[in-house]
């Protein structure tokens, strides 16, 4: 997935002009595709998480190179590559997204999709929390209530699991820090260029992973079936297309709509885990998820209140 924190930086000039239907379609498409990612990764069996993520990195790089060629954006990419700050920042972002991808694929292939969905449910709350810790931002009382409820939810879930829900926490924090780092480079790095630079950094690591898999369990690409090989080769498009849809939506939709629609992905993942994969949902887990949803409701209320206040200020005569 793409960082939901990126949606927090989405431009909002269209807020007063109604809602863009194409923007809604792009946003629903992006988060819908991210929501069904578990189904895609499960279909890649018997490939393991190391092989899947390695091919995802390499084929994403190839797909981005093709897109840049088609759009004739090599000059823009070259200019970004000459910017030392951008390149180093995107390298760190790449490392974080690599951890995120690896953890997510592992969770999917080990029937822990519900916990992975939890990670993306609490990601907006973690982003707010990181704003305090890293950016020294001040939270209002409502936001502190949301953070407090989410902490209680993690405690309840830890009790239910018998351990900390580490998959959810790794996903949420890696994505949260990824969003903060992407925010540092701002709008000068578009989705395709950003993913290209990130995967350039990650390509050597992906090659090492493939060599390791080849020397141990053996690579599955080209050995299972034509369909399996096609699915693995599609990893680049599966990664890049939702990113492009997200970028297109962010340019067309007000912040508040992006904030609502971002919950489509974890909600779909949650349904896949509970309904399709029949993952267990004991009472403690339902209570923990309910607390997370309450915290998200509190954050949403705060967001709506902020939007109304901003509109009122704009509407007042000078």
Dist CA 112 CA 141 (whole Å): 34
Alpha-carbon 73 to chain mean position: 25
Residue range(s) defining the domain that contains residue 259: 4-315
* Strand residue runs (E) in 176-239: none
CB of 101 closer than 8 Å to CB of 202: no
CA 28/CA 311 separation, integer angstroms: 25
Tally of domains within the chain: 1
Question: For each of the chain's 318 residues, which pLDDT tens digit applies?
Answer: 544 444 443 444 444 445 678 888 888 898 899 999 999 999 999 999 999 999 999 999 999 999 999 999 999 999 999 999 999 999 999 999 999 999 999 999 999 999 999 998 888 888 877 877 777 777 788 888 888 888 898 888 887 777 888 999 999 999 889 888 887 777 788 888 989 999 999 999 999 999 999 999 999 999 999 999 999 999 999 998 998 888 788 777 776 677 677 888 899 999 999 999 999 888 888 998 899 899 888 887 877 776 667 666 655 655
**Mean pLDDT (the chain, rounded):** 85
User: pTM for the full model?
Assistant: 0.84
Residue range 239-260, pLDDT digits in tens? 989 988 887 887 777 766 776 7
How would DSSP label each residue in 24-79?
A: HHHHHHHHHHHHTHHHHHHHTTTS-HHHHHHHHHHHHHHHHHHHHHHTT-HHHHHH
């Amino acid at each position: 997935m793409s960082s939901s924190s990126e949606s927090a930086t989405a431009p909002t000039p269209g807020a007063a002009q109604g809602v863009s239907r194409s923007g809604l379609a792009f946003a629903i498409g992006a988060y819908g595709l991210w929501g069904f990612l578990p189904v895609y990764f499960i279909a890649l069996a018997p490939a393991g998480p190391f092989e899947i993520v390695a091919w995802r990195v390499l084929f994403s790089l190839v797909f981005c190179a093709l897109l840049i060629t088609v759009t004739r954006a090599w000059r823009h990419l070259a200019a970004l590559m000459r910017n030392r700050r951008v390149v180093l920042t995107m390298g760190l972002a790449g490392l974080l997204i690599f951890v995120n991808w690896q953890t997510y694929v592992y969770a999917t292939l080990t029937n822990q999709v519900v916990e992975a969905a939890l990670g993306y449910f609490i990601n907006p709350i973690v982003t707010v929390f990181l704003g305090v810790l890293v950016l020294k931002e001040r939270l209002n009382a409502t936001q502190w209530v949301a953070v407090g409820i989410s902490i209680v939810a993690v405690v309840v879930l830890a009790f239910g699991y018998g351990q900390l829900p580490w998959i959810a926490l790794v996903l949420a924090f890696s994505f949260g820090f990824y969003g903060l780092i992407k925010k540092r480079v701002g709008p000068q790095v578009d989705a395709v260029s950003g993913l290209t630079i990130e995967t350039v950094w990650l390509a050597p690591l992906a090659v090492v992973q493939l060599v390791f898999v080849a020397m141990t369990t053996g690579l599955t690409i080209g050995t299972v079936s034509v369909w399996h090989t096609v699915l693995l080769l599609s990893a680049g498009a599966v990664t890049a297309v939702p990113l492009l849809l997200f970028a297109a939506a962010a340019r067309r939709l007000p912040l508040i709509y992006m904030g609502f629609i971002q919950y489509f992905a974890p909600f779909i993942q949650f349904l896949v885990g509970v309904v399709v994969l029949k993952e267990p949902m004991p009472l403690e887990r339902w209570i923990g998820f309910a607390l997370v949803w309450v915290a998200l409701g509190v954050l949403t209320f705060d967001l709506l209140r902020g939007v109304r206040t901003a509109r009122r200020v704009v509407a007042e005569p000078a």
